[in-house]
Chains A and B, each alone.
Chain A
């Protein structure tokens, strides 16, 4: 069973508001991923970290999203100015980072932007 912990489970924001969600990866996993799953079940990779360093991120993430994984603190994903199109399930996953391996997902934060 995955032990990736995501908080909060639900988040409701108005357009233009900041939205912040947190993730505690599985113990001993240095690589953390954030994905967005929309209502059509489409997954979009947002960003991943190894320890505290960004490995890859998409353009959207660079512009309106910020993410960090400080040592000894939960990882976080923040949307600076929420838009209606950001309404989705945000999934955090972690892995050992050794390739060909399992990504362990949390239960997600469901963001609704009104």
Chain B
């Protein structure tokens, strides 16, 4: 049973466009949602995260939109750059529990110059 689901395995956008990566989840107890970025040969690195008490979190070119009622969230990458080409993982946890993360299966993002 996939508790965290990412709707696209891959996504290609042109340089300068906004890339939108979607994620949904099943467990209502999840209250912390980080997005991780992973380049080939490296471990995942935290990009941006949101708690369920917020509906939006912005950090530079990266924004998370969160819809608690619908149990979904999206990562928007504005002004996409070739260096943003990577695999992006949506994850979820029950934060107060030092929770282990439940990861989605990732979206491989390619930015065309």
Contact = CB atoms under 8 A, between A and B. Distances in A.
Interface residues of A, number: 29
Given A40-B105, A41-B105, A98 B44 contact: no
8 contacts: A43-B89, A43-B103, A45-B102, A48-B98, A99-B32, A99-B99, A102-B49, A108-B42
B113 interface: no
A56 interface: yes
A31 interface: yes
A105 B51 CA distance: 20
Given A41-B105, A107-B41, A100 B46 contact: no
Contacts of B36: 105
Nearest to A46: B100
Interface of A: 2, 4, 6, 31, 33, 40-43, 45, 48, 50, 55-56, 91, 93, 95, 97-108
B43 A95 contact: no
Contacts of A106: 43
- Where chain B touches its partner, the secondary structure class is mixed
Interface of B: 31-32, 34, 36, 41-46, 49, 51, 87, 89, 95-103, 105-106
Given A91-B43, A107-B43, A42 B51 contact: no
Nearest to B41: A107
A31 B98 contact: yes
A99 B97 contact: yes
Pairs A-B, 5 closest by C-beta atoms: A105-B43, A100-B95, A43-B103, A41-B106, A45-B100
